[in-house]
Structure 1
């Protein structure tokens, strides 16, 4: 299956919408205040990414340029990414958020989602024209920050700090 750049950008929009739905649902479901705050922050980030990809799609429609990519070569790679458990539509994202029994489980799912998204955006960087490269590059940098923030949160949840009585919280 071949994808046009507009179709790939639409996949990116749908991915961000799924991420937003996951983070909003997980934030409401978590019992850990810090985890909820991180999830709400990430939901806001996903919203910004939705607008960015919609803007990129508008720019492609308004000023189409020759894309430096062999789409046939990319099709299998894109399919492998989009078939992943973590490359979600909104209904799957909501189900995964609801199934997470603990904040740590929700963070683990979020890490998987962000890693798959990063793979997809790295591939997207090779597909867009020169004008869009800085924007996609900035999104990649943000996704890396999300992964770092989630990893730090996961480590905090996996290794709670001792309380004043010497017990773990």
Structure 2
């Protein structure tokens, strides 16, 4: 017999990821020493806001979904909880510490890269949970997070060269 897990619970976590990401980017933008970096982090904050809206809208439409065949409800719930709790913006107050420690561009960009990678992994799992008609929105967010990761890497390279 198939077990069901509420995808809207995962969508709630996605909304929170995007909210915390936006907060992180705004805080590091305020600390940025040059205009290019400040504008870049503000752009990323805006992107997180767009994703937050996408997931907030999904939240209302999602119900229960079938779990992967390899897991029980408890196993999958534990796995998803682990993904969320190990996310760089969720692990026990470290997000706030990261934000306060991001005094230099190199540190802020590296933290942002970790955040983006964790988010991609979470969204890839989420994509497999939502109904087929909703996967396109999650896919677009994954693609945009991948783009953010590439742009962060490019910015890190530029900052190190200057």
TM-score (norm 1): 0.83
Take 1:143 and 1:159, find their aligned partners in 2: how far apart are those partners? Answer: 24
Structure 1: tracts of 5 or more residues without a match = 161-169
Structure 2: tracts of 5 or more residues without a match = none
Indicate yes or no: 2:148 matched with 1:146. yes
Contact 1:21 1:94 in 2 (8 A): no
Structure 1: which 4+ aligned runs deviate by more than 6 Å? none
Partner of 1:95: 97
Contact 1:100 1:106 in 2 (8 A): yes
CA deviations 1:26-70 (Å, max 9, x no partner) are 00011022111110000000101111001001122xxx4x52324
Partner of 1:69: 67
Shift of 1:3: 5.5
**Structure 1 residues 151-160 or 123-132, which shifts more?**
151-160
TM-score (norm 2): 0.86
Shift of 1:77: 2.5
Partner of 2:132: 130
